[in-house]
Every structure is written in C-alpha cells, then in structure tokens.
Amino acid sequence: MMIRVISPKNILRILAGLSILIFMSSCEPLATGFDDTEDATMYQASSLRQAPQPDSAILVMTWNIRFAIGRSPWFGDACGNNTVFTKEEVMPHLDSIVQAINMTKPDILMLQECDVASQRTAYINDLQYIIDNTYFNYAAYVPEWKAQYIPSDGLGRMDMGQVILSRWSIRDSKRINLVTRGDQSGLVNYFYLHSCIITGKIKIPGFEEFSVLNIHASAFATDDTKKKHYEEFKSMLDKIDAEGGYFLAGGDLNELPPGSDSTDYCFEDMCPGESFHQPGDDPQHKDGSNYTPEITWLQPLYDDYVCAVPLDRYQHNQQAYFTHTTRPGHFWDRTLDYLFTNYRWVENSDITHQYLLKYSDHAPVSAMFVLKKEN
Amino acid sequence: MKKTALLILLLASITSLVSAQSPFVTKYMSFNTAYLMPAKKWESGIRQPFRIGLSQKTELFSTVLALPLTPNAGIKFAWGEKGSFRFATAHSLSVPSPVMNILSREDIGGFISPEYTFPFILSVNNSVLASGPVCDSALLTFKADFLFAIRGGDIDPQSTIDLPVIYPRMAHYYKGSSVRLSANIKAPVMKKLGVEEGFQLFLITRNENNFFAENTGYLYWKMSKKMLLKAGYNLSYGVYPFGNHWQLWPSLDLLFGTSK
C-alpha cells in the first residue's frame, strides 16, 4: 500500500486557499452598497394557508409602518430625543400592526420602513413576526438602509427595507436601486439609506400574472433627487405597460398630489429651537417639508395611470385622504402614500385608514384591485 | 493584493518555525509575552500600550493615546522561570466611562445614542502569561485574562457598540465578567522581519452574547533602529445581539522606543 505524503508546498497551498476563502466570505463592508438590480430575499410562512380564489378583484394595501415604533418621538423624524427602542417598547406597536393587518385583511400588502435586524429596534425582525402572526404565505424583502454600523446619533447596526407580502407566491422579485441623493457629502451618503423599489410578479389561478412595484422615495432630498425617483418609477411602469403587462404599484412617494392646498409644512414640522422663513434663516425651509417647488412632480403618474384615490376626488376633500404627519399626537396633515395601476380599481373601494393614527406616522391606503381574467 | 498579503503571512508563519535563533522576538516583539521591558527601556505604539521597564522584574504600561478619555494604567511582574517557560502576571485598571459618555452624542461621531448616560465604570484586568521557546527561534505564549467591572449604576444593555473587536472588549462593562484565553507564537523570519500568529477566546459569564474568538496575524518590520511597523489582520467570530458574525479587519500600528 502506498502512502501519499502531502508536500509542504501543497500544505501551503491548502492553507492559502482556506485563508482566502475565509477572507472573502467574512469581508463585510461597514455600510452596504447596492447594485442597480439585485435579487430580493424571499420569506415563506412555516405552514402555508390555502389562498382564497378571488372572483375578480383582490384587496391591496400600502403602509409605511415606521419600523414598528408607532408615534414614538424618534430623533430622525419627530423632534424626538430617542434613537434606540427596547423590545418592550417595540412589541406592542408590532402587535398593533399585526392586529390592523388581520382586521383589514389585504391580499397583497406593500410595506415600507420595515426593520429586520436594526439596533434601534432591538434587532426584532418585523417581517418575520408579521408573517408568523398573519395569514400571508409569502413575502419578498429588499434592504433600503443596511450598514454594520452607522456612526451617527447612535444608530448602530441597520437593516431596514421594503416588503411585498402576498397570499400567493411571488416570483422574480428584485431590488431596483434609485438614484443616490445629490445633496449629501460622500461620507454621509455612504452610511445613508439608498432609496429603492421592490418588484415582483404574482400569478393568481384563473387570472393573468401582474407586476407589483413598491417604492419608498427620498423623504428629505432638497435637490431634484425625488423627481428623478418618480421618473425612474414611472419608466418602469411605462415599460410594463408597453409590453402589455398590468401592474399594481404604490408606496410612500414622499410627495403631495398636484393641486394640494397646503404645500409648505416647515412650521408644522419645526422642532424646538429651529427657525424657518425668517430673514437670515439658513436654510429657509426645513429639509423634506417644503413641497412647493415639487407640487407637479407626480402629475405624469396621474396623467398616465389610475390612482386608487382619483385626483379630482382628493382635490375636493383633501383632508379625508391625508396619510402622514410628523407630529406625534396630531391628526394627519398631508398625503404621501399612493396606489396606482394601469388597469382598474373597483370604484370607490379605496380606504385611507386614518383611524390607525397611533400605529405609525403613515396611514395605510387600501383599495380593491381588479384582476385580468386569463384568456 | 489581499491574496498576496495573506500568502506572505502564511509563508512567514511557517518559515519562522525553522529559522535560526535570534533575539528579534524578545527584543522587538515582547508585548503580550511573559518577557518584560528591560530596566530603563521603553517602547510604545500608536495603539499598543506604552511600556517602560522599572527593573528586571517590573514593568509599567498604559495606552497613552487613550489616557485623556480612558484613564488607564497597569503593572507587570516577572515571576521567574520553570523549565523552559518564563512566567509573568499583569494587573491593570481603566475607567472607560468618560470616553463612552463622549461617544454618546448627536450627529456624526455618535457611536452611542445620546439618550444614554454612563455611570462610573472601573474595569479591572488580571492576567497570567507563560512564554517558552519552540523550534529554537520561536516564542510561544499562553495567556489567561480575567476581567471584571465595578459599575456605579445600571447600564442600558442596548447602548452597546455592536461591532467586532470592540463589542467583546466592552462586554464586561455591561454584564458579567470576561475570561480571555489566548495563545500566540512569535518568530523571526529575516533580519528585519518578524511574524506573529495568535488565537484568542473571549468567554463572558452571562447567558447570551457570551462567546467570541479572534485569530490575529502580524508582520513586524524593523524600519529603523528605533521604529517598527506592525501590520496584519484580525479575523473574528462572535455571538452578538444581532446574531453570529464573522469579520476580517486589517490592523496597523507603529512601534517606537529605546529598545528598538
């Protein structure tokens, strides 16, 4: 019997190979950068529930859940002093969100600002909890803000993103990166969130497959970044439309509908010690609160596609469709959340769930989405 | 580039075991061994502590750069030899609360949320070191550290800095004590080049987030009579509040002093 002795040279090669393998697999950057298009992370319920067979339409909803901290005074958007929330603080809000979902029972739900592993929310996986405690069978997740450590205000580790939840399986789900904010320094931008769209395709038996697109556009950009986001969003919708497909699109566009009466929220959003609109104030407007120069930026979407809340109806009774406020304890004061399609909504089926005032700083919007029968 | 650096490290580690005997290790690489600084000699690094030999049996050390924000000092005693092994103990104190309160600030640089205020924390570290020669020229060191903290009040468990290398070293400030078991081997490679490979376990006496391990490798390059460049890597694994995590980070230091 021959015994083959491994030479020292080969031992070196093996060790070098192993070391390189470890090196490559462990080298996670401090903040995650994104490619233009990436695959989404897919979730599935531990036990699948029988999905109902719709007649002609399904209930769809969009909701920015504000990482399940309800209306708590977070430092980033509500003049608060708190950055980090405990499990005991987050769980009641998450339970309320689950309760609202189970009560409303959308068939497809688009979420924004969903934390899956962030230090600020005690590393609770909001999405896993929602799947485990609702009737959804499938979900797709893409990160919008992902970093090992954000060395600012104690934010620490961050993994927040957008979600599509569905009773039916989701295929070909992608993360589409939107243009980077042009009004930030390179260092800030490296650790900052990167706006995106999550897409997916859903096939319900008996109906044509449709596309789902869930966007969270920039909230605080002061240049034309938001406009570019809407243009990118619309060009994706245009492409689906041109190819003969139909879509359900929506999310938190962080923009007012054209024709809104009030377009400057600097005073509503002003924190103690801040001053705007006064001579010598720099900046003159609070970041993300002055929509005046942007008021027509959503017009192309309204021109070409069907909003669940028609523009003329909104313009005649704006307060009834407000979905957001930055001020804890105040009623909704502006509309930022939308549902669009290139097909049809069941007429007057839309609901702006303004009664869910304590669940997030955004109200969910739902409507009955008409499905195209398969030929 | 990374591949080349790793290959050099690996080659250096292995060739060091068969090199001829040299005082390079005990003279230039004695940090983290049972060898002390010779009397009246000193060395420091930017990150590595300042060390000064008081006598043949006593050494004082302190991380000078951190002193204003983290008062710290330690003393190391030589306890003689048994067989081929040399023994020493090290005892140090540090007060990390000032730096933690500074890191707890708004805007950029806020590693810890401003909502947290840290009470007085006194960290106590006692170590036992044993060093002995292997393969003629290399020096093998075993080290055991026992660390605990005296806290002037409760510390919020969510105010941790959840980063590799940092989290395991701060763990005992928050809850439990820390036992660190390590081994390193240092050897000369060439006249002006030395190599170190080390492994360290961090065991925290608490129920969760209590296990960490690090593998480190460094090359020491004698740049001049009084200066050494120490460069290498730190490969870490740990059980953090967010889950298990691997990380590889580069490591760089500049050593200087009278012993160089």
Mean pLDDT of A348-374: 97
- Helix-strand-coil split of chain A, %, nearest 5: 25, 25, 45
Interface probe for A, chosen from B102, B158, B245, B248 (most Cβ of A below 10 Å), is B158
Beta strands in A188-313 (DSSP E): 196-202, 210-216, 247-252, 306-307
Are A83 and B161 an interchain contact pair (Cβ–Cβ within 8 Å)?
no
Q: How confident is the model at residue A264 (pLDDT cuts 50, 70, 90)?
A: very high
Chain A residues with CB-CB distance to B109 below 8 A? 151-152
Of all residues in chain A, the percent with pLDDT exceeding 70 is: 93
Mean pLDDT of A29-50: 93
Selected residues 223-242 of chain B with any CB under 8 Å from a CB in chain A: 235, 241-242
Q: Considering only A33-37, A79-83, A248-252, B75-79, which range has the smallest mean pLDDT?
A: A79-83
To the nearest whole angstrom, how far is the Cα of B208 from the nearest Cα of chain A?
Answer: 14
- Say if strands A365-370 and A351-352 run parallel, antiparallel, or are unpaired: antiparallel
Q: Are A244 and A220 in contact (CB under 8 A)?
A: no
Q: How confident is the model at residue A28 (pLDDT cuts 50, 70, 90)?
A: confident
Interface probe for B, chosen from A28, A69, A153, A189 (most Cβ of B below 10 Å), is A153
Q: Which residue has the higher pLDDT, A128 or B136?
A: A128
Chain A residues with CB-CB distance to B112 below 8 A? 154
Q: Is the pLDDT of residue A221 over 70?
A: yes
Q: How confident is the model at residue A21 (pLDDT cuts 50, 70, 90)?
A: low
To the nearest whole angstrom, how far is the Cα of B3 from the nearest Cα of chain A?
Answer: 6
> Residues near A215 by Cβ (< 8 Å), separated by ≥ 6?
A162, A178, A195, A196, A197, A229, A233, A249, A250, A251, A252, A253
Are B7 and A152 an interchain contact pair (Cβ–Cβ within 8 Å)?
no
Residues for chain A: how many in total? 375
Tens-place pLDDT, residues A159-186: 999 999 999 999 999 999 999 999 988 8
Selected residues 346-365 of chain A with any CB under 8 Å from a CB in chain B: none
Chain B residues with CB-CB distance to A115 below 8 A? none
How much is the pTM?
0.88
Q: How confident is the model at residue A155 (pLDDT cuts 50, 70, 90)?
A: very high
CB atoms within 10 A of CB A77: 15
For chain A, what is the mean pLDDT?
Answer: 93
Size of interface A-B (CB pairs under 8 A): 93
Q: Considering only A41-55, A339-353, B55-69, B102-116, which range has the smallest mean pLDDT?
A: B102-116
Tell me if chain B has a CB within 8 Å of the CB of A84.
Answer: yes
Q: What's the confidence (pLDDT) of residue A24? A: 52
Q: Which residue has the higher pLDDT, A28 or B54?
A: B54
Interface probe for B, chosen from A6, A9, A25, A26 (most Cβ of B below 10 Å), is A26
Q: Which of A117, A122, A188 sits opposite B158 (nearest CB)?
A: A122
Q: Which residue has the higher pLDDT, A164 or A5?
A: A164
Q: What's the confidence (pLDDT) of residue A16? A: 54
Whole-complex ipTM: 0.83
Q: Which residues of B166-185 are buried (b: 16+ CB within 10 A; e: fewer)?
A: ebbbbbbbbbbebbbebebb
Are A23 and B2 an interchain contact pair (Cβ–Cβ within 8 Å)?
yes
Q: Is the pLDDT of residue A131 over 80?
A: yes
Residues for chain B: how many in total? 260
Are B113 and A122 an interchain contact pair (Cβ–Cβ within 8 Å)?
no
Q: Which residues of chain B are modeled with pLDDT < 70?
A: 1-22, 259-260
